[in-house]
């Protein structure tokens, strides 16, 4: 669903009306459901990517929060960075690098069978990847305490008004609003 579509024109007022109709303690749940619905309108199976990113960074944040010393937090930051950037590389840059490698090696008459990754680029993958990375880095540096509420953290990652158009929001600014 695009922000300039008729579907969004119907979706947004319904979400706003429901937001003010539900009790305050349940608003995060409404926004999370609406955010996942919004994301799945593009390609439903890609919600697994955003769920995986949420799970990894939530877990890494909790693990880092349990450790006082920065060097003890580092392995969990590495897990967060590697899984997030690995996913981003696979979906966004794999074909560029594989094609470039084939072209360079072809200049030397070397043929390699590097496979193409023929998928549709997940919408918003850069935004939520860098947003969750900033969360992990802030916890690693001791600038932020980990969010203990999985639902609010998931909403921070998937919040539909900023999911596909940005801006990348710091957890210290957005999480307290939920």
pLDDT of residue 134: 93
Q: Read off the pTM.
A: 0.84
pLDDT, tens digit, 9 for 90 and up, residues 142-168: 999 999 999 999 999 998 888 666 667
pLDDT of 21 over the 90 cut: yes
The answer to whether the beta carbons of residues 59 and 148 sit under 8 Å apart is no
pLDDT of residue 85: 95
Q: Where is average pLDDT lowest: 36-40, 65-69, 89-93, 142-146? A: 89-93
pLDDT of residue 69: 94
Averaged confidence pLDDT in the chain: 89
pLDDT of residue 101: 84
Q: How confident is the model at residue 76 (pLDDT cuts 50, 70, 90)?
A: very high
CA 84 vs CA 55, 106, 125, 171: distances in Å: 11, 31, 10, 17
The structure tokens listed for 77 are 């930051």
Rg, Å, the chain Cα set: 19
Q: How confident is the model at residue 24 (pLDDT cuts 50, 70, 90)?
A: very high
The structure tokens listed for 89 are 């590389």
Measured distance CA(99)–CA(133) in Å, rounded: 28
């Amino acid at each position: 669903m695009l922000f300039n579509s008729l579907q969004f024109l119907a979706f947004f007022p319904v979400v706003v009306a429901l937001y003010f109709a539900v009790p305050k303690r349940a608003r995060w749940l409404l926004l999370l459901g609406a955010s996942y619905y919004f994301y799945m309108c593009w390609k439903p199976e890609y919600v697994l990517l955003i769920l995986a990113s949420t799970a990894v960074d939530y877990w890494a944040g909790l693990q880092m929060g349990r450790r006082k010393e920065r060097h003890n937090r580092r392995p969990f930051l590495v897990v967060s960075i590697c899984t997030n950037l690995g996913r981003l590389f696979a979906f966004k840059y794999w074909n560029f690098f594989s094609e470039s490698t084939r072209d360079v090696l072809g200049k030397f008459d070397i043929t390699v069978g590097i496979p193409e990754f023929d998928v549709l680029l997940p919408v918003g993958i850069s935004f939520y990847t860098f947003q969750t990375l900033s969360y992990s880095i802030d916890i690693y540096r001791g600038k932020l305490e980990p969010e203990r509420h999985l639902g609010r953290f998931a909403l921070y990652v998937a919040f539909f008004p900023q999911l596909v158009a940005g801006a990348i929001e710091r957890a210290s600014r957005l999480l307290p609003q939920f």
